Chain A
Amino acid sequence: MTIETLQSTFEMHQAMNVEVFYWWCTAIMFMIHTGFLAYEIGASRVKNALTSGMKNILTLSVIIPTFYFFGWWIYNAFPNGLIPIDASEALPWSLSMGPDVEDMGTGIFFAAFALFGATTGSILSGAVIERIRLSAFLILAVILGSGVWILAGAWGWHPEGWLLTKLGYHDVGASGVVHAVAGFFALGVLMNLGARVGKYKDGVAMYIPPHNLPMSLIGLMMIIVGFFGFLGGCIIFNGGETGWTTIYGNPTNLSAFGFNTLMGFAGGVIGAYLTSREPFWTMSGGLAGIITVAAGLDLYYPGLTFALAASGGALMPLVGRQLEKLGVDDAVGAVAVHGFCGFYGVVLVGVIASGYPNVADLPNITFTGQLLGAIVMALVGFIPGYGISYLLKKFNALRVPPQVEVLGLDLVEIPAKPYPETVPAYKVVENTLEPGQEKLV
């Protein structure tokens, strides 16, 4: 065997390793959606259980093709802002967008990014359960999952994105570009969608118990499993001598992510338990902790990660309850978990890791750059979320009629029953509790 043959064989195996890595990251990311499915079904009342599940299943099915139609192009075309650069190879009629013997990268990166997009749709999905029209939700999910977040991704999660090249923005685990964007988009939608019937009495928030809290808890733990695929997919597996880098080109490795993902999970759970004592918030704390530290996952000392994640986990239920008092009926706390912790996580990098260098002549990480980046992420999510849901509301296309909501969406829309041999869904049309009574449930 000649040196040339050996080199060619080695390079082929390197390229195959890259493919294998992202293949399994994508597969594991599906566990996020398995988790969201269980989580949202469980969080719904029994009269809406299957509708919530159907919404979640269809979220994936509409974001994947639309991400192929235009999402991948947006990522490649808009790193400079709102004026596109030539990215014709990412258009769906390009020869790069299909099987090619010599291209072992495009398809697998498209797949991973499509699943990131689907995650944003699922974040929105939980917040709006039990009263949004399926048609309106799918429109919003496509705009978020195949448009809005990936525009933010082009700006802050691209080697040439302007947030990186101008501000030194650092967000390796997508605290901002995925979680803050999706959380603030959800906030905009919730402001127009309004609360569920019976959620508020005389301005006081009632407690609407999940019909299956254990299912929700298991779902949340599945999302944590999926996060390992998600965060693995955030690392660049380079061929040649470079090895692992972040999406910004600085060296990192799975070991760094291993330390800090686990410490982030643990800190978040403990923080949320300390301020809530409640299982739904406590389990959500695992997500909140990881999201809080995701932006600096490659940089933090694990002891610091644990403390930061605990702070995010502790603050998250307080933010959720405050939003509830302000009239925002977020059924699963998505704005607090993803919006607040995503924003907080990006800013924390500026507080803690200011002065870290970026590669080549890119600007260093700064507090100002991170703060501005976090504000950009929040606005990129909130403005379209609010604006498009406002238009849908004006056309009476956002929310189901109140009579349908009281009857339950499953009875009206779904030709199946979730638990046919136990409680008929239509028998349980209301289930709300006064403040404080939830402790007896």
Chain B
Amino acid sequence: MSSPITSWEGATTYFTFADNPLAMAVCLAAAVGVFVYLNVSIIRHEKAVFDKHLSD
């Protein structure tokens, strides 16, 4: 269950996994992972295309 609430009556923080620190940590790690992967991907792309054009 991703919902931290069972009723809207008296609800405060209600985002997914708000009552599950481990699941929140996994989500945050995934978010950071996407960001890190973007940077790695760009560096690899640059290396590949620069090498290709420099060898032509």
Question: B36 → chain A, closest Cβ, in Å?
Answer: 11
Across-interface contacts of A401 in B (CB, < 8 A): 50, 54
Interface residues of B in 1-56 (CB under 8 A from A): 11-15, 18, 21, 24-25, 28, 31-32, 34-35, 38-39, 42-43, 45-46, 49-50, 53-54
How many angstroms between the C-alpha atoms of A66 and B42 in the bound complex? 17
How many angstroms between the C-alpha atoms of A403 and B49 in the bound complex? 12
Measured CB to CB, the residues of A under 8 A from B are 62, 65-66, 69, 92-93, 95, 98-103, 133-135, 138-139, 400-401, 403-404, 407, 412-413
Closest to B51 in A: A401
How many angstroms between the C-alpha atoms of A115 and B46 in the bound complex? 28
A99 touches B13 (CB 8 A): yes
Measured CB to CB, the residues of B under 8 A from A are 11-15, 18, 21, 24-25, 28, 31-32, 34-35, 38-39, 42-43, 45-46, 49-50, 53-54
Across-interface contacts of A98 in B (CB, < 8 A): 13, 15, 18
How many angstroms between the C-alpha atoms of A135 and B24 in the bound complex? 29
Closest to A133 in B: B46
Could you show 29 A-B contacts with beta carbons less than 8 Å apart?
A: A62-B35, A65-B34, A66-B35, A69-B31, A69-B32, A69-B35, A93-B21, A93-B28, A95-B13, A95-B18, A98-B13, A98-B15, A99-B14, A100-B14, A100-B15, A101-B12, A101-B13, A134-B42, A135-B39, A135-B43, A135-B46, A138-B42, A401-B50, A403-B54, A404-B54, A407-B53, A412-B53, A413-B46, A413-B49
A101 touches B14 (CB 8 A): yes
A135 touches B42 (CB 8 A): yes
A-B contact count (CB 8 A): 59
Closest to A100 in B: B13
Closest to B52 in A: A412
Please tell me which one of the listed residues B12, B24, B25 contacts residue A100 in the complex, with CB atoms under 8 A apart: B12
Closest to A400 in B: B50
Which of A135, A138, A407, A413 has the most chain B CB atoms closer than 10 A to its own CB? A135
Across-interface contacts of B12 in A (CB, < 8 A): 100-102
Across-interface contacts of A93 in B (CB, < 8 A): 21, 24-25, 28
A99 touches B15 (CB 8 A): yes
Across-interface contacts of B11 in A (CB, < 8 A): 101
Please tell me which one of the listed residues A65, A92, A138, A404 contacts residue B50 in the complex, with CB atoms under 8 A apart: A404
Closest to A413 in B: B49
Closest to A415 in B: B49
Across-interface contacts of B13 in A (CB, < 8 A): 95, 98-101, 103
Question: B10 → chain A, closest Cβ, in Å?
Answer: 9
Across-interface contacts of A135 in B (CB, < 8 A): 39, 42-43, 46
Closest to B24 in A: A93
How many angstroms between the C-alpha atoms of A138 and B38 in the bound complex? 10
B39 touches A412 (CB 8 A): no
Across-interface contacts of B54 in A (CB, < 8 A): 401, 403-404
Closest to A66 in B: B35
How many angstroms between the C-alpha atoms of A311 and B40 in the bound complex? 45
How many angstroms between the C-alpha atoms of A69 and B33 in the bound complex? 12
How many angstroms between the C-alpha atoms of A24 and B12 in the bound complex? 25
B28 touches A92 (CB 8 A): yes
Which of A101, A139, A407 has the most chain B CB atoms closer than 10 A to its own CB? A101
Across-interface contacts of A95 in B (CB, < 8 A): 13, 18
Closest to B32 in A: A69
Across-interface contacts of B34 in A (CB, < 8 A): 65
How many angstroms between the C-alpha atoms of A92 and B31 in the bound complex? 11
B49 touches A412 (CB 8 A): yes
Please tell me which one of the listed residues B31, B43, B50 contacts residue A412 in the complex, with CB atoms under 8 A apart: B50
How many angstroms between the C-alpha atoms of A311 and B24 in the bound complex? 52
Question: A416 → chain B, closest Cβ, in Å?
Answer: 14
Question: A36 → chain B, closest Cβ, in Å?
Answer: 20
How many angstroms between the C-alpha atoms of A364 and B43 in the bound complex? 50
7 cross-chain pairs, A with B, having the tightest CB-CB distances, nearest first: A98-B15, A99-B15, A95-B13, A100-B13, A135-B42, A135-B43, A412-B53
Closest to B34 in A: A65
Question: A133 → chain B, closest Cβ, in Å?
Answer: 6
Across-interface contacts of B24 in A (CB, < 8 A): 93
Across-interface contacts of B45 in A (CB, < 8 A): 413
